Amino acid sequence: MTVYRDFEQPGRSEAVGANGMVATSHPRATLAALDALRAGGNAIDAAVCAAAVQAVVEPTQTGIGGDCFALLMREGDTAPTALNGSGWTPEAAGLHWYRNNGISEIEVETPHSVTVPGAIAAWEKLVLDHGRLPWDRVLAPAIEAAEDGSCVPERLARDWGKQVGKLTRNPEAARLFLFDGDGPRAGVIHRQPALAKTLRAIAKGGARAFYTGDIADKLVKTLRGHGGLHRPEDFAEFSPEYVTAISTNYRGFDLWECPPNGQGIVPMLMAKALEGFDLSSWRSVSVERFHVQAEVARQAYAERDLFVADPRTGKIPVDWLLSDEHIRGLRQNISLTGRIANIETVLQRPHRDTVFISVVDRDRMAVSLINSVFEDFGSGIACEKTGVLFHNRASSFVLEDGHPNCIAGRKRPMHTIIPAMLAKDGQAVMPFGVTGAHFQPFGQVQILTNVVDYGMSVQAAIDHPRMFARGDTLEIERSVPEEIAVGLTKLGHRVTRPENPLGTAQAIWIDRELGVLRGGADGRRDGIALGY
């Protein structure tokens, strides 16, 4: 018997469609991507189209000054294709330079936090290698949104207003993103003519128009004017990289992720460890489930902070981390009667700002794509003449000689944005992802276990109350009952209620039995899933 949601309670039903589906965190992006599918484009065209639109209409979260990762899986593929679109540091960014200049931390609102933005090069590579539509057609809706303007939705207006201080500290960013010195009210139309001009140049000249020539010169001049080490060749010589996706099995499903320098290994560690527990014997919102997931996560994040970095500068022990022996050791550390007292970890700033896009087309190509400027409005440094605001991804580096994630020239930092793909019997069944930077692995595992262990629809799995444990803090959303908080506190957890909802998620389930697609998008932002 089918179990339906309670239609008298707040919430939404899953989206359904037979020919294609898109799920994003912004209605305009979902509509633009759906139009791309209906115009003959495939899932890659639609995903990049959505990412470009969101780079205009969700500037707190993403932009062409940020990075991108993607997984795509066609019918007949035995593994996803993975693209790493994370940018590198300037060649001059050696540890010695920072030490000689008395810098002990990469502060987020400085040019030293800015790596070369990888998104534009990644988008172009995906469309040219795997898409069907012309490049300029894919970017057209984003250009229109920048030129004609876009209404600011409620959640975005709220987040935007919290960053007035950051934007005020950079006059160019203030002129681009503030309204009489303040954030926008919900419903205000935000126009970005300079960004529209930049996007038109990219639509005509390709990614090369962004990484070389007049646009690149303006970007480098802006960064160097703030004290950055960037040079034109750092932009001109950058390119994204196809990488080999990594996977682990969870209760008969294959969970696919991008390899390091991303943190995709963290949800894999968590899933393998959790497979040793019968989660479904506990309620989905229970002290037992939340405690076990917290204890698994705290260990997995600690190992991320010790090992995950750019594999081009040192070997990452992926096979050992995912080995049965190592996972067994993680499980053995967990007690159902109390919290692990001390777990070594390297604390990172709590960045939470990214967009995730899920698309499946008529031919059942599944795409999981994620794009980000890291913090709200990234570094807060903008190039007014191009409309580009720079991310602050290099703030994830450490300045500790010998650490795998120590900063160096032309190096990519440990990266938080991770698309995910779930497959079964060699076929994609769910492209999915969760935003929220460090929260992303934890959020992915909550979605995964909600679907696999508790049999939830993708929308119910997304709507479900969330928690997040890393280091010494256990955050639980306000939708989690107080008695759960009390029970977790008795086990030794330091329970807090987060200021913001924990991440946002999108997912599409490929229902092969009925031949349809079932989609979900997160109400924690203004997400919407649509199919046709």
Active site residues: 354
Decide: 132 and 505 in contact? Cβ < 8 Å.
no
Q: Which of 89, 104, 196 is nearest to 148 (CA)?
A: 196
DSSP 424-445: ETTEEEEEEEE-SGGGHHHHHH
Amino acid at 111: P
Alpha helices in 58-178 (DSSP H): 95-100, 119-130, 135-148, 154-161, 164-168, 171-177
Residues 6+ positions from 134 with CB-CB distance below 8 Å: none
505 CB-side CA count, 13 A: 32
Beta bridge partners of 420: 257, 432
Residues 6+ apart with CB under 8 A from 27: 153, 526, 528
Closest alpha carbon to 166 in 385, 372, 392, 438: 392
Cα separation, 57 vs 67, whole angstroms? 16
Q: Is 129 helix (H, G, I), strand (E, B) or coil?
A: helix
CA distance 68 to 9: 36
Pairing of strands 494-496, 473-476: parallel
Kindly state the tokens that stand for 144.
């229109």
- What lies within 8 Å, CB to CB, of 119 at 6+ separation is 51, 55, 62, 63, 64, 65, 66, 67, 68, 85, 371
Phi, psi of 4 (to 5 degrees): -95, 160
- How far apart CA 508 and CA 529 sit, in angstroms, is 8
* Ramachandran bin of 116, using left for φ above 0, alpha for ψ from -120 to 50, beta for the remaining angles: beta
Distance between CA 338 and CA 340 in Å, rounded?
A: 7
According to DSSP, residue 415 is labeled B
What are the φ and ψ backbone dihedral angles of 83, each rounded to 5 degrees?
-120, 130
With contact defined as beta carbons under 8 Å apart, do 525 and 25 qualify?
A: yes
Amino acid at 466: R
Torsions phi, psi of 422, nearest 5? -105, 135
Helices 43-57 & 193-205 angle (0-180, nearest 10):
150
